[in-house]
Amino acid sequence: MKIIFAPIMGVTDHVYRQAFAQFFSGVDLAMAPFLSSVQARSIKPAYLKDLLPENNQSLPVVPQILSKDPDDFLFLAHKIVDLGYSTVNWNLGCPSPTVINKRRGSGLLPFPGLIGQFLDRVLADFRGKLSIKLRLGRYAAEEIEALWPIFNQYPLAEIIVHPRLGRQLYYGSVDLDAFGCCLTHSKHRLVYNGDIRTVQDFRDLSARFPTIDSWMIGRGLLMNPFLATEIRSFHNPSLKSGKEMAILRAFHAELYEKYKGVMCGPSHLLSRMKGFWSYFAENFCNPDKVRKKIHKCNTPDQYLTVVRSLFDSDGFDSSPSRKTPVSG
């Protein structure tokens, strides 16, 4: 079984991934948040900072590119391969309106002809392996049905399926029946992605799809960093132990110090850490109250005082709330 940390834009950058690997186990590799392909035939080194080998020594990483232009994709992908990566993922799943309205991400799914042309051009010249991450469609699950005859023609490394539509964003239910249909139509190795938040979620999904041996988890791991370990041990404690609480506290401290060293000023640092608590608050007995306390912080000193009081309260809960829209 392989567990993959899903890419979450604005959260799972190399700083977060390195810190996560330092304190938690059970994850085999991570997919980096996407880079958009560029038209210019030169790239500043800072654009690839998140993928530099020296920033990714603790956890294997698969880079991801958002693109609708095959030549632009190839230019960036070969720069990434030159860094030592063997596989690059093509993002056909992003549901952001600013992305899909430009026919990128899941916005390209209603156009199988364009996807076929893209793959023809890219796989004719690409020096690495290509995987794809996608949704069922932008508007309807039937859109993916038109894509399997196309995908099956090409030597893809794997296909990661998030069984939601682009128009759903991260709301509503995943369509497990549609994912089951994908298994019957695809000749490629499939990875399941979406709504794995607890050990029981994983048990239910693995029982329903016994041929799947690779699982991508995003927000479930952000809310409960122990989730991958719990899945592997089939143990989901009702409350975090004192040792686990100490690990969570040390993990937060490591994140804060590392981001303090790379963010441009206290306001950027505070914004990044507040975003982290959107998920991390789910470990507490009253996550909404915790998020409100964090949101009200206006300075790093005030933030650290609030965080210290939260950890000292020992109010941890290992059963993340389902109020927050979750997927990976």
For 226-240, the pLDDT digits (tens) are 999 999 997 766 556
Confidence of residue 73 (pLDDT cuts 50, 70, 90): very high
Count of CA atoms in the C-beta half-sphere (13 A) of 173: 5
Is 60 exceeded by the pLDDT of residue 328? Answer: no
CATH class of domain segment(s) 2-233: alpha beta
- In this predicted structure, the answer to whether residue 156 has a pLDDT above a threshold of 90 is yes
- pLDDT tens figures, 46-60: 999 999 999 999 999
DSSP H or E segment with residue 311 = helix 300-312
Q: Quick one: pLDDT band at residue 322, thresholds 50, 70, 90? A: very low
Average pLDDT, the chain: 93
Could you write out the three-class secondary structure of 41-109?
Answer: CCCCHHHHHHHCHHHCCCCCEECEEECCCHHHHHHHHHHHHHCCCCEEEEEECCCCHHHHCCCCHHHHC
Task: Specify whether the CB–CB gap between 145 and 163 falls below 8 A.
Answer: no
- Note the pTM of the prediction, 2 decimals: 0.92
The pLDDT of residue 323 is above 60: no
Q: Where are the domains of the chain?
A: 2-233, 242-312
If one counts every other C-beta atom within 10 angstroms of the C-beta of residue 48, the result is: 17
Question: Residue 240's pLDDT is what?
Answer: 64
pLDDT mean over 191-206: 96
Residue 245 is predicted with a pLDDT of 83
Q: Which of 52-66, 140-154, 209-223, 238-252 has the lowest mean pLDDT?
A: 238-252
Report the residue count for the chain.
328
pLDDT in tens, 13-33: 999 999 999 999 999 999 999
Q: Tens digits of per-residue pLDDT, 256-289?
A: 999 999 998 999 999 999 999 999 999 888 999 9
- Tell me what percent of the residues of the chain surpass a pLDDT of 70: 93
Are 317 and 239 in contact by the 8 Å Cβ rule? The answer is yes
Which of 202, 120, 179, 183 lies closest to 155, judged by CA?
120
**Confidence check: pLDDT of 78 > 80:** yes
| First-residue to last-residue Cα distance in the chain | 18
The tens digit of pLDDT for each residue in 103-124 reads 999 999 999 999 999 999 999 9
pLDDT at 316: 52
Q: Using CA atoms in the order 208, 109, 140, 204, what is the torsion angle rounded to 10 degrees?
A: 10
